[in-house]
Amino acid sequence: DVELVAVNDPFITTDYMTYMFKYDTVHGQWKHHDVKVKDAKTLLFGEKEVAVFGCRNPEEIPWGAAGADYVVESTGVFTDKDKAAAHIKGGAKKVIISAPSKDAPMFVCGVNEKEYTSDITIVSNASCTTNCLAPLAKVINDRFGIVEGLMTTVHAMTATQKTVDGPSSKDWRGGRAASFNIIPSSTGAAKAVGKVLPVLNG
């Protein structure tokens, strides 16, 4: 079981956080138990208190004082081991990066999770695409073998895309309105599959 003890978000207040959590256009309305604000630094999930921090620097977040053993790093900013290790300076014991990492060991359930050992403090759970592709690639390779492959991923709209056309100097096509266009983009999923399934690397 996982017990939520603290959340860090430097950009929104607890009352706005509660509002966004309770009413979500994509995921629907939260109906499990009441969520409300106790004070500016505490949320209540039913009777359960959850501390709220607003730190921009991970090493300033008092995870230890809040009793957090595991931290999910889901900003998309602190994705390498050195940056993610800042959470440990704040008192966390282990960090799970919810994105691919260039140097943290990556694990995908059903693929290589048995290689995890308890001395590893920072891990990456790879990407959503890698979590879709790697288990299938493992099953096919184990049963039949894979000589070469080609993958296509179709992704839903994300929060970083434009609602109407706008400037995007690094990726011109990425500047087009998301709901009106199928926008080609690159993915690092194939490389990530090679990391969690070294037999397919290359």
Catalytic residue numbers, as ranges: 128
Best CA proximity match to 196, nearest among 141, 145, 131:
131
In angstroms, the CA 164 to CA 27 distance is: 23
Chain centroid, CA 41 distance in Å: 23
Instruction: Decide if 96 contacts 78 (C-beta within 8 A).
Output: no
Instruction: Decide if 121 contacts 93 (C-beta within 8 A).
Output: yes
